[in-house]
Every structure is written in structure tokens, then in C-alpha cells.
Amino acid sequence: MAEDEPHDLDRGLTNYGDRDFARFLRRSFARSLGISSSLFNKPIVGIAMTPSGFNNCHRMMPELVEAVSRGVLAAGALPRPFPTVSLGEVFLNPTSMMYRNLMAMDTEEMIGAQPMDAVVLIGGCDKTVPAQLMGASSAGLPAVQLVTGAMSTGRHRGQRLGACTDCRGFWSKYRAGTVDAQEIAQVEGRLSVTAGTCAVMGTASTMACLSEALGMSLPGTAAIPAVHSDRLVAAEESGRAAVRLIETRITPNQVITEKSVENAIRVLMALSGSTNAIVHLTAIAGRLGIRISPERFNEISDETPVLVDLKPVGQGYMEDFHAAGGMGAVLRELAPLLHQDTVDIEGRTLAERLEEPLDWIDRSIIRSFDEPISPVGGLVALSGSLAPDGAIFKRAAATPELFESDGRAVVFTGLEDLSLRIDSPGLDVEPGDILVLQNAGPHAAGMPEAGYLPIPKKLAQAGVKDMVRISDARMSGTAFGSIVLHVAPEAAVGGPLAAVRNGDRIRLSIKEKRIDLMVDQEEIARRMADFQPPPSPSRGYKALYRRSVTQAPQGCDFDFLASDFALGRRKWK
């Protein structure tokens, strides 16, 4: 923000070649908005709002916008809500991941193009928070992230239900024949019973927690349930905080640093959070030239215990996490491992925050550092001949007996092939085989949450509950299983995954952090000699996406938006 930039409606005047006329015209039109002249000279806080009839996570958006506006006005500034793209995960085709970058572009451009001195970003659904943080990081204006909050749980025959881990569990039982059509219809109406994001530590909740860990959200706000009155209080306080930022001029690049990104990765490990968070955090960091190597990622994972007992890998729900002490409790347990000199949007160091007393911690949900659920973090980065640029495995959600596997590949060449053959009685598959999905990465399919390949029906009915599954796709943060994801380079750009054939041997070793195709290089080269990439879209945003999207290790951002450092175009010092 330039020192001489005005803090009012005159900021960033429309260019007509006559500044005085532009000022006169803007104020004239502001009158038509019903803004009194006494407010014209106040600092302006933009409110990036994302309501949509196709986004259940954001149903409470009008109340949140009103509460933020109340806080801005009380602090002496003028609130100006404005809309951006809204991404409702389950309502988008082919996948919300394809539109994350569109929302990030929209957010960045509208922050920069409109006259505001700071901005509050309101979002919650899976790709919304990362898109907003990506856009705000690039825009460079002081920003506060406010999340919408998680759903509260429903009930079914005495069992608590929460989207979407329980929907996957019940669907697996339905496929296996242990739940009938009548019961699955009942469950359908009991899974998502309030506004808000998924009730478990899925992608939305993980990103809410990581936003607070980075320092971009107010302390203690990540886990407040969507329907809790404190969510509105947090919104009001976020409005006040945005006004303070106008004076302190703390911008995202001062908050999101290499140290705070490492802190966020430690929190991700302790939460055993979503694998999607790795792609999103990489993209956010990449906007500011920050890159954490796979080797450093694994070091952090091996040093950081899993402390939080929530679904999909544990038992609790986000409302339990909030009542148990939330992020404040997790950060205090991790304190010896954290960079405590990082600064948040309030201008406080993490050390200063951790000096404040905490009310209470429920140890059934948030374990102590000395008595963890697991002594090592929930996620690891893999390398090897099948994934020379990397892959991800969520060991906390997997079956330990499958950590060291050597199996026969059963290959599906794409999403349509998977859909057509996975439940075929004639499918040649055994419990010890490894399911492989090709052409589901960012270039081929927008990288959908298809990595959670279903257990073939004939095996599910025989009682098989887990198998090693490999793909260049993503997996929902609410899912579980022994699944290798984000294989890079993806099949559609000629990565080794494209060379896998039925019957090939694949070796997975979590101990060695490797995934290898046990086929010699000459044979792989022979198979790839006639490789042809899938056809590209010819127009519109999908064509732009195909031309410009990077691979998972670079965050699947657009190459023209990510920092040169993140793309490896400049040497590190």
C-alpha cells in the first residue's frame, strides 16, 4: 500500500484522464448507493462475500456480512460488501478444484480494482478459503480471513452423524449389502442438518485451522460452529480487526512467511488433516515465493505427533474440537516445535498469544504432546519411479498392514472406465491387488476427489474394507483408506503412471517413503513411445485451465499467477 494512497472513496480512482472528474463522478454515484457524505472520507473495508444458492456451506453468509459490517462501523470505517465466485463443493462439475483458481483470480482482481483499504474474506467451503488466501496474498492489501464454521451433527438410530465421513461409511455399507435402500434414504436426510462446512476434519475444517495457524484469522475463530452465536461475534471482531489493519499496515506477506507455513504444516500433521491442504497450502505459499521441500515436509511429519481425535481418522466432530479447546489447545501442545516469532494479523507474535491462559482442554479430543494418538504426523510425501515428482499418503487414515505392500496392478484408464468396470462381476481383482486410476490429474480431469476408489463390489461383499489405491487425483478430506494421491507428473502429461498396465507389480513402502513401478525403464519407454495426451478444451476457462495449471507439487496454481520461486524458475539462495 503506497504511503500517499488515500484512505477513503478516492482510493484507486477510475481513469478518465481527469482525476477531479473521476472523483466527482464516483461520489455522485456513491450517493445513489445511499451513502451519506459524512461517510465518504472514512477508510473503507471491503467484505468479500460468497453466498450462493449452490453452496450450503455459506447459507449463513448474510448474517456474517451484517456482523462484519457492524464491527467495521463500530471501529469508524465504512464497510462495502462485494461478491466473488462461490464454490459449493458437491454442486460443481467436473470438480470444484478446477474453479479454485478462477475464484482466486476474481478475489485478487476485485480487491485491487475497487476502493478499499483492507478486506475481510468470508468463506468456508473446501476450495473457498484457499482461493481467498491465494487472491489476497497476491493483491497485497491488509486482509482478515473469516470462516463460516462447521455443521453440527445429526442423529440416526442413536448414532451421531456428520457430513461427510459418515456418508462415506454408510455408502460403503450400502455397496456391501449390509445397509438397505430404505435406511440409506433415511441417512441421506440426517447427515447434513445445519448450515456450515463438513462436520469432521475434512478439507474445509483443515483449511480453517491452517488459516488460524498461519495468522490470517483471529485467534480462536477456526473451530466455532456455524450456528453458534460466537460465530457472529467472531465476524464482528474480524471487522474491527480489519480497521486496525489499515493503521498497522500488516499485509499478508508479513504474516504468511516460511516460518508460519512450517507452523501450518505442523498443525496439519497434529490434526491429521486433509491431504488437499497440501495442494492448497503450496499454492498459497507459492504466491509469495515460499516453497517447503518434500524432504522438509517429511521431517516435520516425523517430528510431529497426531494429537486430535476427530473423524475421518478418529471419533470426534468439529463441534467437539471447539468445545475441547480448539486451535488454542493444539498450538500450546505444539509450542516447543513452533516458530514462535511469527506475527499474526493483530501484530502479535505467536509467543505472545501462547502466554495467555487457556480455559480448559478435553483430553479425550486433544491429547497432550507426551500422550499422542500417534508419535508421527498424519501425512507423508512419497517419491519413487512411479512418482518421480512426488505423491502424498495419509498414513493416519490408512491400514498399517498395507504400509509395506507389493501387489499386482489393476488399472483403470480414466473416470469413465472406473465407473463402468469397478463393480463388474468379471473384474479380475483380488484382495492383495493394487487399484490404479490414470488420467484423473489436473490436466486430464481437473483433479477431482476420485482418488478414493471404491472397493470393487465383489470384494466389498466378501468383507474387504481396504486396499492400496493409487492415482493422480485427490481424495476428499473426509475420506479414509490406504490411498496414494497426487502422483506427479500425472498420466495426462506423460508421467510414469501412464505406463502402468494390468498385472504390473507395484511396491509401496511407507517406511522408505517410496512408491515404485517394478518395470524396467526400457519397457516403460517402449510403452510410452506412442503416448498421446488427452484432447484439450477449445474455449473458455477450461481451455485456460488446461494450458496454465501446474502439477500438484506446485499447488495446481496457474503458472502465470504463481511466484517464479515456487515454479523453480529462479535459484534459491
The DSSP annotation for 182-235 comes to HHHHHHHTTS--SSSB-SSSSHHHHHHHHHHHHT-S-TT-TT--TTSHHHHHHH
Residue spans in the chain of domains classed CATH 3.50.30.80: 379-554
Q: What is the mean pLDDT of residues 35-39?
A: 85
User: What is the C-alpha separation between 178 and 155, in angstroms, rounded?
Assistant: 19
SS3 of 569, please? coil
In the numeric block, the cell 462381476 is attached to 425
Looking at every residue in the chain, the average pLDDT score rounds to 94
Contacts of 530 (CB under 8 A, 6+ apart): none
**Rounded CA gap, 9 and 341, in Å?**
36
What pLDDT is recorded for position 424?
96
Q: Which residue has the cell 452465536?
A: 229
Distance of CA 477 to CAs 163, 318, 480, Å?
A: 11, 13, 8
Q: Which of 386, 446, 393 is nearest to 275 (CA)?
A: 393
The rounded percent of the chain whose pLDDT value lies above 90 is 88
Q: Residue 492: count other Cβ atoms within 10 Å of its Cβ.
A: 22
How far out from the chain centre does Cα 474 lie?
11
Q: CA-based angle 205:140:447, to the nearest 5?
A: 45
Q: Is 489 left (phi over 0), alpha (psi -120 to 50) or beta?
A: beta
Whats the size of the chain, residue-wise? 573
pLDDT score recorded for residue 4: 63
CATH of 379-554, one of 3.40.30.10, 3.50.30.80, 3.40.50.10320, 3.40.50.300: 3.50.30.80
- C-alpha closest to that of 77 among 193, 239, 216, 236: 239
User: What pLDDT, on the 0 to 100 scale, is given for residue 572?
Assistant: 29
d(CA 331, CA 381): 23
What average pLDDT does range 112-126 have in this prediction?
96
Give residue 406's pLDDT. 98
Per-residue pLDDT tens over the stretch 339-374: 999 999 999 999 999 999 998 999 999 999 999 999
The residues with which 390 forms a beta bridge, in sequence order, are: 488
- Alpha-carbon distance 346 to 476, whole Å? 32
- Tell me which of 3.40.630.30, 3.40.50.2300, 1.10.1660.10, 3.40.50.1110 is the CATH number of domain 42-152+194-354: 3.40.50.2300
Q: Which three three-digit cell numbers place residue 406?
A: 507389493
**Please, is 139 exposed, middle or buried when counting C-beta atoms within 10 Å of its C-beta (0-12, 13-18, 19+)?**
buried
pLDDT classification of 564: cutoffs 50, 70, 90: low
R_g (Cα) of the chain, nearest Å? 24
Closest residue by Cα to residue 84 from 97, 103, 99: 103
The H-or-E segment that residue 102 falls in is helix 97-113
Contact status, residue 374 vs residue 270, Cβ threshold 8 Å: no
Q: What is the pLDDT of residues 89-101, one digit of tens each?
A: 999 999 999 999 9
Give the per-residue SS3 of 262-302. Answer: HHHHHHHHHHCCCCHHHHHHHHHHHCCCCCCCHHHHHHHHH
Q: What is the pLDDT of residues 268-288, one digit of tens each?
A: 999 999 999 999 999 999 999
Q: Is the pLDDT of residue 336 over 70?
A: yes
Domain with CATH 3.40.50.2300 in the chain: 42-152+194-354
b/e sequence 291-307, b meaning 16+ C-beta within 10 Å: bbebeebbebbeebbbb
φ, ψ (nearest 5 deg) of residue 193: -110, -5
The tally of CA atoms less than 13 A away on the side-chain side of residue 350 is: 26
Tens-place pLDDT, residues 285-302: 999 999 999 999 999 999
Q: What is the pLDDT of residues 51-84, one digit of tens each?
A: 999 999 999 999 999 999 999 999 999 999 999 9
Mean pLDDT value of segment 29-42: 88
420: pLDDT strictly greater than 60: yes
Answer whether 319's CB lies under 8 Å from 201's CB: no
CB of 222 closer than 8 Å to CB of 186: no
Quick one: pLDDT at residue 162? Answer: 87
Segments in 304-381 forming alpha helices (H): 318-324, 326-334, 350-354
Per-residue pLDDT at 566 exceeds 60: no
Cell numbers placing 181: 435402500
Alpha-carbon separation of residue 313 from 165, 193, 369, 474, 482 (angstroms): 9, 22, 18, 17, 12
Residue 507: its pLDDT value, please?
98
* Cβ contact 238:66 at 8 Å: no
What pLDDT was estimated at residue 442? 97
- d(CA 518, CA 506) in angstroms, rounded, equals 6
* Cβ atoms of 288 and 134 closer than 8 Å: no
pLDDT at residue 373 in the model: 97
Q: Chain-centre distance of CA 480, in angstroms?
A: 16
